[in-house]
Structure 1
């Protein structure tokens, strides 16, 4: 005979009923399991694929109709799933919105890094500097859609601390990279590299929004960028 809990051997009794547990400890464990049965872990089908599908629906709604239209019902319809599927994969709508923003930030960084790495063999560091700044401009469909989503989120982040945390952080990796590239390219005399990097990142970001609105053309934005780079990099 074996114990129902630990599967250990049970010594047969000299008389009376046949025991089903080898000890009082196993008997107590069996009682606790009946009183508080373990909750089964749900099996999540297509965890990455389904979550991705829902997140992309949020991006499309934010880019095309604004984040205020991103209700659970609208997101589910855009993703071609039921609202219950959305609720299964995310704790609530706010969790979904924050997750979608974080994913977009990561993907933008990956794409930008890939494009910049492709130019790493360029002899002139100005090429890398210009390419880095142009990542802030909506120069193709992907960057245009991404900027639309970011703009929709930014407005919401002004009153939502959780979203603001994704935008605001202590580190300034882009500004630090631009400052390093300015130094490598040869700044002119009396140039404060860190301040110029801040101004370039902020200025080009604003030009990107103007380009998105159609206030400026790509040629005009590039001429403005060339002007400032020429002003800063007079050392070479």
Structure 2
């Protein structure tokens, strides 16, 4: 009897192979044939799920975002039952920052996707949609913090979302370059969130 293939799991398996290649070599090394070799499957299997490289990359961008989000949620669930907005934002920053080898590889992969997106409208739109969702979620969390009396009432959640995510992005680059240590980066995020707190 032929083995039943879990198609969702197979697509994820291929996406993980792409992320390993992108984190190690950039996306120039993520040709379908290279992805098949990295994933340990045939080229035909990769082509069965993704007809083109750009189609594959669109899926991988969503997969990467989902993977990080799952880890943030898992960390929150393991922490406290009803996390504050600040705790959630701190957990989010810790997952987004390249604090260890796994997250450094993800950061390098994310940068490779951004560079690849130039001139590929479909990929640009996926990245823009992800960015809009993330900014909206952070702004919502800041609003929730204001309603709970955790953050100052006079803050503009939209601007604060842009500022926080831009800071995390900059700190991420600093970490990759060795300009900052992980503890310094986390302390900077905590310092920023403390400045938003209601007095």
Taking structure 1 as the reference length, the TM-score comes to 0.70
Match of residue 77 from structure 1: 37
For the pair shown, which has the larger CA radius of gyration, 1 or 2? Answer: 1
- C-alpha change, 1:90 and 1:124, in structure 2 (3 Å) is closer
Q: Quote the RMSD (CA, aligned, Å).
A: 2.6
What do residues 95-134 of structure 1 show as CA deviations (whole Å, max 9, x unaligned)? 1121122222222222212212333436765333322332
Matches within 5 A, 1:89-104: 89-104=49-64
CA deviation after TM superposition for structure 1 residue 66, in Å: 0.3
In the alignment, what sits opposite 1:114?
74
CA distance 1:161–1:190, shift in 2 (3 Å): same
Provide TM-score, normalisation by structure 2: 0.81
Greater displacement, 117-126 / 211-220: 117-126
Residue among 182, 185, 210 paired with 2:174: 210
Change (3 A) 1:124 1:117: same
How far residue 72 of structure 1 moved from its aligned partner, in angstroms, is 1.6
Does residue 137 of the first structure (1) align with residue 101 of the second (2)? no
Provide Cα deviations, 1:133-165, integer angstroms capped at 9, x if missing partner.
323212344333222211111111122111112
Aligned residues: 193
1:198 matched to 2:198: no
For residue 143 of structure 2, the aligned residue among 167, 172, 180 is 180
Give the helix-richer structure, 1 or 2.
2
Give the one of 103, 107, 110 matched to 1:150. 110
| Conserved 8 A contact 2:21-2:27 | yes
Establish whether residue 164 from structure 1 lines up as the match of residue 128 from structure 2.
no
Change in Cα spacing, 1:46 to 1:182, as seen in structure 2 (3 Å) is closer
Q: Decide whether aligned partners of structure 1 residues 186 and 148 sit closer, same or farther in structure 2, where only a CA change above 3 A counts.
A: same
Residue 104 of structure 1: SS of its match in structure 2?
helix
1:155-198 CA-partner distances (Å, limit 9, x unpaired)? 11122111112211254333224423542353347533432222
Moved more, 128-137 or 150-159: 128-137
Find the aligned partners of 1:88 and 1:163 in 2 and give their Cα distance.
20
Local SS of the residue matching 1:118: helix
User: Structure 1: any 5+ residue segments left out of the alignment?
Assistant: 1-42
Is the CA contact (8 Å cut-off) linking 1:125 and 1:181 kept in structure 2? yes
Conserved 8 A contact 1:124-1:185? no
| Relative contact order, higher structure (CA 8 A, sep 6+) | 2
Deviation string 1:52-77 (CA, Å, 9 cap, x unpaired) is: 33222111110000001111221121
